[in-house]
Amino acid sequence: MPDQFDRAILRVIQRDNKTPQRAIAEAVNLSAAAVQRRVAAMEAAGIIAANVAVVDTAAVGLAITSIVEVHLTDERAATVDAAKALFRADADVQQCYYVTGGISFVLVIVSRDMVAYEATTRRLFAHNPSVATFRSLIALDRVKFGSEVPIP
């Protein structure tokens, strides 16, 4: 469980994981060496799951962002596990959540255009006998994005 120093470090590096360790150290009142040890320990513990860049989808030609609700034919473990594996492996699926409330999964999918999006829906849903129904919500504007978790 992260202590107050770890949480302070996490708040800084979530905003910009390229912040120099000496700047983090100043912000959280630790030495740079202590920050380095704590970051390494949080990476080893899986608290820091990845160091990634957030890419502007439009800037790389991915014009369509769709939020998709997927309802499986049943919720048996084998059906759910197969769907998780399929969605996890697909490069167009940016996020995938197994959820409650009458829907099986909620996915965020990015595509270069509607032709590519239709191909993705056919591949993942229409030709998949485990998918009963799916509903696409096409994003008009990306109002907020990122992965910053609110650390108390």
> Average pLDDT for consecutive 10-residue bins of the chain (152 residues)?
93 92 95 96 94 87 96 97 98 96 96 97 96 97 83 82
pLDDT of residue 149: 84
pLDDT of residue 55: 85
pLDDT of residue 147: 73
pLDDT of residue 58: 86
pLDDT of residue 118: 97
Q: What is the pTM of this model?
A: 0.82
Residue 130 tokens, joined: 């485990």
